[in-house]
A and B are shown apart, each in its own frame.
Chain A
Amino acid sequence: MKTQPLHITKPSKETLEFFRNLRTSKEENKAKLIAKKDIYFPKSK
């Protein structure tokens, strides 16, 4: 089931800050996961 998409066209400063911080933390987390890649995809000996 799909709902009507919600588009926040004029977000408040706080909302923008929240989503920008979220993007930054997602990017940082991605870099951390990739750095620990061998845990999830161990190299075969």
Chain B
Amino acid sequence: MELDKKIPFLTEEGHQYLVSFVKFSANGIDYGIPIIDVSITLMNNEIEYNSIKTLNIFVDIINNYLDQHNVVLYYYCDTAAIKMRINRKEKLLPQEYRSKLFSSMFNKKNIDDYLLAEIRISDPERGDHFTSLISSVNNVDKIKLIEDDLKKFNK
């Protein structure tokens, strides 16, 4: 089955989004399972604001993809501005906020069937990098393998 896929959708608020699934080379390392880069792109030139309903749609699209393909999804959080609650006590980077938002929505819906591993790479010069690996719980060993490789990159 074709792994690369692009799914456009329009939110109730009129925002146009494109969810793209693209095979990722992972620096040529073979983990015994395809690694797929998933991106959620706001196609309008606006500051992103995600309602609960929109977040649920993202999660449903990702779930449907995982139901059809035995892969590890790799989600890299965008650094573009995003609307956050003004009264938030904790100041977060846009990519950090996206990561927390996405993980909390995903875990609410998929507590038993899927696994989500959050990864943060410190980058004091250009802002930390936030990514997640998502797959079926049956692939816990593959996720562990990727995480172990990343740990080797810690000085």
Contacts and interface: CB of A to CB of B under 8 A. Distances in A.
Interface of A: 1-3, 5-12, 14-16, 18-20, 22-23, 26-27, 29-30, 33-34, 37, 40-41
Interface stretch (B51-59, B60-68, B119-127): B119-127
B78 A1 contact: no
19 contacts: A1-B112, A1-B115, A2-B118, A3-B117, A3-B118, A6-B119, A8-B119, A8-B121, A10-B122, A11-B122, A11-B155, A15-B153, A16-B121, A23-B79, A26-B76, A33-B41, A33-B43, A40-B6, A41-B43
Q: Is the interface of A mostly helix, strand, loop or mixed?
A: helix
A12 B68 CA distance: 36
Contacts of A3: 115-118, 143, 147
Contacts of B153: 8, 11-12, 14-15
Interface string B86-108: 00000000000000000100010
Nearest to B129: A19
A15 B121 contact: yes
A5 B118 contact: yes
A43 B41 CA distance: 19
Interface string B134-146: 0001000001000
Nearest to A20: B126
A41 B115 contact: no
Given A1-B114, A7-B120, A8-B120, 11 more contacts: A1-B116, A2-B118, A3-B116, A6-B150, A11-B122, A19-B121, A27-B79, A30-B78, A34-B45, A40-B16, A41-B16
Nearest to B16: A41
B43 A40 contact: yes
A35 B18 CA distance: 13
